[in-house]
Structure 1
Amino acid sequence: MALIAAVAGLGLLAFAVTSGCAGPLARVAVTWGLTDLPGGHKTHARPTPYLGGLAMALGTLTAVPAIAGDTTVTAIVAGALAVAVLGLLDDIVPQPPATRLAVETVVAGAVVLNGVCVPLTGTWLDLVLTTAWLVVITNSFNLLDNLDGTLGGVAVTGGSALAATAFLLDRPAAGVLLVVVCGSALGFLRHNWAPAKLFMGDSGSLFLGFVIASCAAVTTSMATPTGAILPVAAGLLLPTLVATVDTAVVVISRHRGGRPLLLGGLDHVAHRLRAAGLGTRLIATSLAFAAGLSGLLALAVSIGLLPAHLALLGAAALGLALAAAPPALRQTRQRRPAGPEFAAANCCAVGARSGSVSHCAASPTSNAR
């Protein structure tokens, strides 16, 4: 009972730290011009500051004293902070995709060498496959950050189920980390629920994706024997189902439409649900529910309550339901603001609403994918 109270206390502390830092960081973002401007395929109507990801990272640091004895989980935190810094740099000055992938691969490889490895083949190939999987899922979470409240809600519900799985599999440090990340994401949601006053930016989406992907690999390695393909697939895919389905939908849609993969558009699951008539808050709630449900399926598989093949069939049905929403109006070209005067005017308008701003600047970086 005391352990539950202590863990809950850490989650509440992370919530308070993130929520408390979000407002001041939003004002800093406006002052420095770290805002996402409306236009093109983006769904928000006014310039919105970044740095929500930095607030979540600060909240998560409250878990460090509790996990310091577990070198694998400590490595996950260090890796997540590294990709958060990478994302922050990308929020300030867009980085080339090759640079981002190179850094993410090095960070993921370092974490894998510290014990985050899925036992798929029992050979050195597991190191390569786990590293690749961490990079892919981290970027899938980055792509999922495309509508107010969506990624934060998915992180809270999916992360909570994964935390329960970690505790049941006797990985308390991973469980504590996930509880604290969920508390941080919930604190951020206070400012990101539609209509959003703050975006997490790449720093936040990469941070959340890396933590959840890494912890899913840890729980999978604890619950499955080497070479058990279906249990491994369930352990990896179920905790990350919503992000994985969204990425698959985007890749297929842009390939079929002959559009560049890295060009933002309205072909995400959230945009399709919006085209079907759902409101922004209902979409965020629905995707969060789907993430929580798939996370519970993963938990059931990990403790032997449900066969892996049945859980995967259920997840496939859930994924098809999400992907079956009609596509939004196709957009082949991303529109940009008319010029620097437009950007400066909008940024100044936000600054006027949020407090005194000494100077105005605008960032071309977009939170929509």
Structure 2
Amino acid sequence: MLYGIVAAATALLLSALLTGVLRVPALRLGIVDRRRRRAVPLAGGTAVALATALVAVAGDALGVAPLGAGIGRVVVAAGCVAALGLAADAWRLRRWVTPAGTAVAAALVVPYEETGVPGGVLAAACVVVATVAFRGLDHADGLAGTVGAVGAVAVAVCAAAEVMDGLAALLGALAAALAGFLLHNWFPAQAALGAGGALFTGFLLSSSAVFVRAGQGIGSGAAVLFALTALACADAALVVLGRRLDRRPVARGRPDHLAHRLRRLGLAPRAAVVLLGAGAAGAAVLAVCVHTGRLPAGAAMWVAGAAAVLVLGLVRLPVTPVFRPRQRSASASSQVSERLRVRSG
């Protein structure tokens, strides 16, 4: 218990410190995202991944929180996925590269001896879908960090119920690292996760959930994993369905995610994130109850129904186009300069 508190505090402080330190090199290297007509450095992903991995490796090396069989492989695979996402942030990789790399990583970490080959293949596919969907949550200030922290706490509770203390400590460190990152990411954000941090968080959450549920039934395991990632899946479904209905390319970015559409309804940026975070927390509580046997697996259908209502209710809401300030022509700029010179003269 004492180690868990110390590890969480260390991860939080380390993540907050690293996010602030890495902002400057991210800006200089051009690893940024454009939000509200300003550049937001993608420094949070590296900070969260480093803080989580360092705390987990330290606990395993000291013997106070051994990760357990196969969990070290999950941490290494999540680090590789984060590195791939960071490369996607820094260089314009083809869009299929990150999903393909995530699929390879997921296939290498699934515990086939407990899931069986068919169940393992299905689990790997779920990990890929959840990871890619989670990447889409980094479009709004504070959303990915909030949903990720909620999910990490929920999976940590499930791991603790299975006496998987090392995995629970790892997820507690992830939740704390995301909380430290949120100090810089809350609206208006001074840093963002980027693809590296979003893929790292989504992969670690979903693959850890697979380890917790391994050997306990495919149907109930799928229900728990869906409830834990329901908000990210709903956001991805809304984006794909909306762009297909509008006959636009699915891969081309637009302000048509959940938080964007809620803001179209008049919600403030912070209010939209709090509302979505509360929804993710409710689904996470249901997932914990299903895992511990307090609710049947069919209870996840309530989450699926709520997600479907949310998607269908927002999909036809008009989408505000991205603001792009007009560039002044050379003649217009010279005319403005001449007027200012005449007035000052």
Q: Shorter-chain TM-score category?
A: 0.7 to 0.9
Amino acid at match of 2:246: G
Q: Offset at 1:327?
A: 4.8
Indicate the SS of the match to 1:37: strand
Give the equivalent residue in structure 1 for 2:301.
Answer: 313
Indicate the SS of the match to 1:264: coil
Identity %: 32
Give the equivalent residue in structure 2 for 1:70.
Answer: 68
How do 1:291-302 and structure 2 match up within 5 A? 291-302=280-291
- Cα pair 2:99 2:132 within 8 Å, conserved: no
- Cα pair 1:267 1:327 within 8 Å, conserved: no
Indicate the SS of the match to 2:96: helix
Contiguous gaps of at least 5 residues in structure 1? 39-43, 340-369
Amino acid at match of 1:129: L
- Cα pair 1:84 1:206 within 8 Å, conserved: yes
How do 1:1-369 and structure 2 match up within 5 A? 4-38=1-35, 44-61=36-53, 62-67=55-60, 68-112=66-110, 115=111, 119=115, 122=116, 124-221=117-214, 224-225=216-217, 227=218, 229=219, 231-309=220-298, 311-323=299-311, 324-325=313-314, 327-330=316-319
In structure 1, how many angstroms separate the alpha carbons of the residues matched to 2:6 and 2:184?
A: 21
Mark the CA change 1:69 to 1:325 in structure 2 (over 3 Å): closer, same or farther. closer
**RMSD, matched Cα:** 2.1
Structure 1 outlier segments of 4+, above 3 Å: 116-119, 325-332, 334-339
Amino acid at match of 1:305: R
Amino acid at match of 1:296: V
Indicate the SS of the match to 2:250: coil
Per-residue deviation, residues 219-263 of structure 1 (Å, max 9, x unmatched): 2225x23x5x2x122121011111011111111111222111111
Indicate the SS of the match to 1:71: coil
In structure 2, how many angstroms separate the alpha carbons of the residues matched to 1:129 and 1:36?
A: 34
Higher relative contact order, structure no. (Cα contacts within 8 Å, ≥ 6 residues apart): 1
TM-score normalized by the length of structure 1: 0.81
In structure 2, how many angstroms separate the alpha carbons of the residues matched to 1:14 and 1:49?
A: 21
Higher helix share: 2
In structure 2, how many angstroms separate the alpha carbons of the residues matched to 1:118 and 1:307?
A: 22
- Cα pair 1:158 1:294 within 8 Å, conserved: no
Indicate the SS of the match to 1:184: helix
Amino acid at match of 1:154: V
Question: How many residue pairs align between the two structures?
Answer: 320
Q: Offset at 1:164?
A: 0.8
TM-score normalized by the length of structure 2: 0.87
Mark the CA change 1:243 to 1:69 in structure 2 (over 3 Å): closer, same or farther. closer
In structure 2, how many angstroms separate the alpha carbons of the residues matched to 1:183 and 1:297?
A: 22
Mark the CA change 1:102 to 1:316 in structure 2 (over 3 Å): closer, same or farther. closer
